[in-house]
Chain A
């Protein structure tokens, strides 16, 4: 096989891998972008950047991890880079422990309206530092501790501890809010 033919085969494989991943995880990546950027225009740019980097990354895909882990790693890492480079935003982020202690500013905004609840949830996630944000988004996407560990690099115990805190925060902010509104 000539060099140009090999390169062309690799391009086709890269395109195919990207297309399949975009088809399967497109909506999850869109949700992920919402966890990192509130502004709609910037979010669209971020999503575009994630997809672009994902397409480029498949040039090096070697099946050492699953496509899902690969896609989420690229998505989270590109988005984390976006947050870290935004100096003002990055300085104001908190850890899960700190978030547990913060009062809920949107407590009175509870409504049966899904959009408001989504806004509250997204705003809550966007207060977190990148690593904790990766855990909470993965938890909301119904991933198990092992998958979250593959993406974040945390041990099962580390993931379990964070998920426990996330459940407490979400219960306090949403379940109690729900009962309060009844």
Chain B
């Protein structure tokens, strides 16, 4: 929207946007969304259960098979660890949590809390999701290493699979770590802003 001097007034451009959704339509959408929330929460809950339950099931098989006692203890620990992880990983992450906080917190407080939550989630992922997987796989392969070194057992045949798995784990760990550092920097930046410019 150019003015008399030929320059553009950004405020006028911004405020002259046409509406895309009517208020009546939004009200209908909100009602539908309220009904959908319960279904969505259930779906997300089931989704977040999939990986830990798979690890727990794998570990349960390990416990029930005829392995040595130390291996079975490791499998049992992996099972308990992954099931505990379901609770720890999902604590406080449901979309239902946002409403009250969103209005009571200022932008600065809310952004910092949200970024902290993402960082904690990343940290908890490594500890509570990645950890049991590593333990369960370790329980499976570590006892087989001595016989593999002597040239026997099935482990040498599975070397390509375990190599790929190790690479995937290293990659995942590195990505999560760099993401966490990035989030730490953002939190530091918001803390600095708060020190200098908060009310």
Contact = CB atoms under 8 A, between A and B. Distances in A.
A22 to B, nearest CB: 5
Contact of B110 (A55, A77, A159, A174): A77
Contact of B198 (A55, A153, A182): A153
B1 A114 contact: yes
Interface in B1-21: 1-2, 5-8, 10-11, 13-17, 19-21
28 contacts: A22-B26, A26-B26, A48-B30, A51-B29, A53-B98, A53-B99, A60-B99, A73-B102, A74-B99, A77-B102, A80-B111, A84-B111, A95-B189, A114-B13, A134-B107, A142-B15, A152-B106, A153-B106, A153-B194, A153-B199, A155-B197, A155-B199, A158-B196, A158-B197, A158-B198, A161-B197, A178-B8, A179-B6
A30 B21 contact: yes
Contacts of A134: 107
Interface in B150-199: 179, 182, 186, 189-190, 193-194, 196-199
Contacts of A55: 30, 34
Nearest to B104: A60
Q: Is the interface of A mostly helix, strand, loop or mixed?
A: helix
B84 interface: no
Interface string A101-141: 00000000000101001100100000001110010000111
B114 interface: yes
Contacts of A164: none
Contacts of A178: 2, 5-8
B103 interface: yes
Given A19-B27, A48-B26, A61-B103, A149 B199 contact: yes
B198 A121 contact: no
Given A31-B17, A47-B26, A179-B6, A130 B199 contact: no
7 shortest A-B CB distances, which residue pairs? A158-B197, A153-B106, A153-B108, A56-B99, A178-B7, A175-B7, A77-B102
The interface size bin for chain B is 35 or more
Contact of A81 (B114, B179, B182): B114
Given A80-B111, A85-B118, A141-B14, A131 B193 contact: yes
A151 interface: yes
A63 to B, nearest CB: 12
B14 A112 contact: no
Contacts of B196: 158
Contacts of A147: none
Contact of A74 (B20, B30, B103): B103
A139 B179 CA distance: 31
A130 B107 contact: yes
Contacts of B2: 112, 178
Contacts of B10: 121, 140, 170, 174
B9 to A, nearest CB: 8
B50 interface: no
A42 interface: no
A152 B11 CA distance: 20
Given A118-B17, A131-B190, A57 B8 contact: no
A20 B75 CA distance: 58
